[in-house]
Amino acid sequence: MVTLFAIAAAAWGVVMAVAPVLQIRRMIQRRSSEDLSLGYFAVLLPGFALWLGYGVVSRDWALIVPNIVALTVTISTIIVALFIRAAHRDRPQPVEPTSS
């Protein structure tokens, strides 16, 4: 029973870890990361690393696999957001016409 529960939890952990890919897709489609909180992902990142470390020292694949995926997707999300924000800053802003 414990093994079955570990497999189910790990599988759902992978699904949860992949979920931010939806946010990456949205940022790319809109060419904006304005509505993304980098602070939120910055808080999650050390948590995933800690759980990964715990999984490694306890040799628990049900913790290792989902947290490797979560770390990878979270880092990718942050990189995409920063890249889009940098591209947005480098783009010349339109000049508003002045009324006289």
List pLDDT tens digits, range 7-55: 898 899 999 999 999 999 999 999 999 989 999 999 999 999 999 999 9
E strand spans, 1-100 = none
70, 13 contact by CB (below 8 A): yes
Q: Domain 2-87 - what CATH class?
A: mainly alpha
Percent share of the chain, pLDDT over 90: 76
Q: Break the chain into its structural domains and give their ranges.
A: 2-87
Mean pLDDT of the chain: 90
Token pair 């979920």 is found at: 19
Percent share of the chain, pLDDT over 70: 93
Predicted local distance difference test score (pLDDT) of residue 99:
67
Spatial distance between the Cα atoms of 73 and 33, rounded to a whole number of angstroms: 16
In angstroms, the first-to-last Cα distance of the chain is: 77
